Amino acid sequence: MYDVIIIWAGSAGYPAGMYASRYKLKNIIIGGQPGGALATSHKVENYPGILSAPWKEIMDNFKEHAEVSGSEVLHEMVNELNKNWEVFEVKTSTGKEFQAKKLILATGNNYRKLWFEWEAEFLGKGVSYCATCDGMFFKNRDVVIVWGWDSALTECLYLSELCNKVYLVHRKDTFRAENIWIDQAKSKENIEFVLNEEVLSVWWSMFMEEVKLKSGKSLKADGIFVAIWSDPNTALVEELSPKKDDEGCLIVDKRQETTIPGLYAAGDVTTNSNKFKQTIMSAAEWCLAADSIHEDLLKG
């Protein structure tokens, strides 16, 4: 019996384990390939105290810190989660079973893909799903951003402050975004709308050089940002029926507790931090969740 099980080994899960261990809570972090959303970034340059580092180096440091503090780490996927009265029961892909008084979910989100040719192969090497995370790597370069909703327009505006040229490719001739973002984008001299078009593939020699469109045209670009938004990864807790918002994010209170007593969540899967999907936010929310669990257990 653990005090707390932490599901997912990423920028949220590891700090949660570290804080739980410092509170002398018996805990285990269970997750498959470590990294979460951070693994989609080639390098990280916006985490305090780290000027520039590969994502794996940061994750290795997070993992080491959690283990040195006292957390157990198991690199397996969780494929079953139940609650039996006050006890959470977890089963992994290899059949291992664990129980805990409390549970923290850090499963993050799944970025929506366009599935154009070479999209997966160039992830972190020109293909990105987060302008805030990776925009600085394309400073003074030409980039393409895809889609026509608020997320695409706001990221387009952000990139226009960094990049030489920003092509906004949208498959329609109208946008499903607020007029304020559309008007601001139109006012930027270095933003060019490419409408009624779809991305077919990316092309390269040593690095990405072109984005090929279905019409046969090509755009010279060093990178492409897919801004179709993302889906919160809540499949594990569907049977518990926690409340979610319209976007599918788990509703949590200021202590990071969901509407299921004893079930906490943090990071990209929740409604907190104004849904600012950044590593520093995930880490902070998980530390708060661990602190809240410590308070609950002290109360008995």
Local structure of residue 242 (DSSP, 8 states): -
pLDDT > 90? residue 124: no
Higher per-residue pLDDT: 58 or 82: 82
Residues 282 and 150 grouped into a single domain: no
Residues 38 and 72 grouped into a single domain: yes
| DSSP run (H or E) holding 288 | helix 279-299
CB-based burial label for 90 (10 Å; 0-12, 13-18, 19+): buried
Of 7-11, 89-93, 223-227, 237-241, give the lowest mean pLDDT range: 7-11
Active site residue 156: no
pLDDT at residue 219 in the model: 97
Dist CA 102 CA 109 (whole Å): 22
Residues 221 and 245 grouped into a single domain: no
Domain endpoint, select from 226, 241, 263? 226
pLDDT > 90? residue 239: yes
Of 42-51, 225-234, 260-269, give the lowest mean pLDDT range: 42-51
pLDDT at residue 34 in the model: 66
Residues 202 and 248 grouped into a single domain: no
pLDDT at residue 39 in the model: 65
pLDDT at residue 108 in the model: 81
Active site residue 245: no
90: β partners: 81, 98
Residues 256 and 187 grouped into a single domain: no
pLDDT at residue 112 in the model: 81
Nearest alpha-carbon partner for 152 in 138, 166, 164, 165: 166
pLDDT-derived band of residue 55, with 50, 70 and 90 as boundaries?
confident
Dist CA 68 CA 84 (whole Å): 31
Residues 69 and 172 grouped into a single domain: no
Residues 118 and 133 grouped into a single domain: yes
Residues 244 and 217 grouped into a single domain: no
Residues 61 and 209 grouped into a single domain: no
Dist CA 294 CA 41 (whole Å): 33
pLDDT at residue 40 in the model: 62
Strands 263-265 and 27-30: unpaired
pLDDT at residue 36 in the model: 63
Query: Which position among 3, 130, 222, 287 bears the catalytic label?
Result: 130
pLDDT > 90? residue 267: no
CA 270 to each of CA 41, 174, 182, 282, 291: distance values in angstroms, whole numbers, following the listed order: 21, 31, 28, 10, 17
* C-beta of residue 147 within 8 angstroms of C-beta of residue 177: no
Taking residues 101-127, what's their average pLDDT?
88
Residues 138 and 216 grouped into a single domain: yes
Residues 98 and 238 grouped into a single domain: yes
As given in the structure block, the two tokens for residue 100 are 């805990």
* Domain, as residue range, for 40: 2-110+230-299
Most confidently modeled range among 6-20, 83-97, 229-243: 83-97
Mean pLDDT of the chain: 90
pLDDT-derived band of residue 68, with 50, 70 and 90 as boundaries?
very high
Of 72-81, 120-129, 143-152, 172-181, give the lowest mean pLDDT range: 120-129
CA 120 to each of CA 8, 113, 127, 130, 196: distance values in angstroms, whole numbers, following the listed order: 22, 9, 8, 15, 24
Query: Which position among 3, 133, 156, 268 bears the catalytic label?
Result: 133
* C-beta of residue 140 within 8 angstroms of C-beta of residue 164: yes
Domain endpoint, select from 226, 246, 269? 226
- Rg, the chain, Cα only: 21
pTM of the model: 0.76
Domain endpoint, select from 193, 210, 226? 226
pLDDT-derived band of residue 279, with 50, 70 and 90 as boundaries?
confident
* C-beta of residue 274 within 8 angstroms of C-beta of residue 282: no
Q: Into how many domains does the chain fold? A: 2
pLDDT > 70? residue 178: yes
Instruction: CATH number of the domain at 194, please.
Output: 3.50.50.60
Q: What is the pLDDT of residues 126-157, one digit of tens each?
A: 999 888 888 989 999 999 999 998 888 989 99
Dist CA 135 CA 11 (whole Å): 20
pLDDT at residue 120 in the model: 87
Dist CA 235 CA 239 (whole Å): 8
Query: Which position among 3, 134, 222, 268 bears the catalytic label?
Result: 134
Residues 123 and 251 grouped into a single domain: no
pLDDT at residue 289 in the model: 93
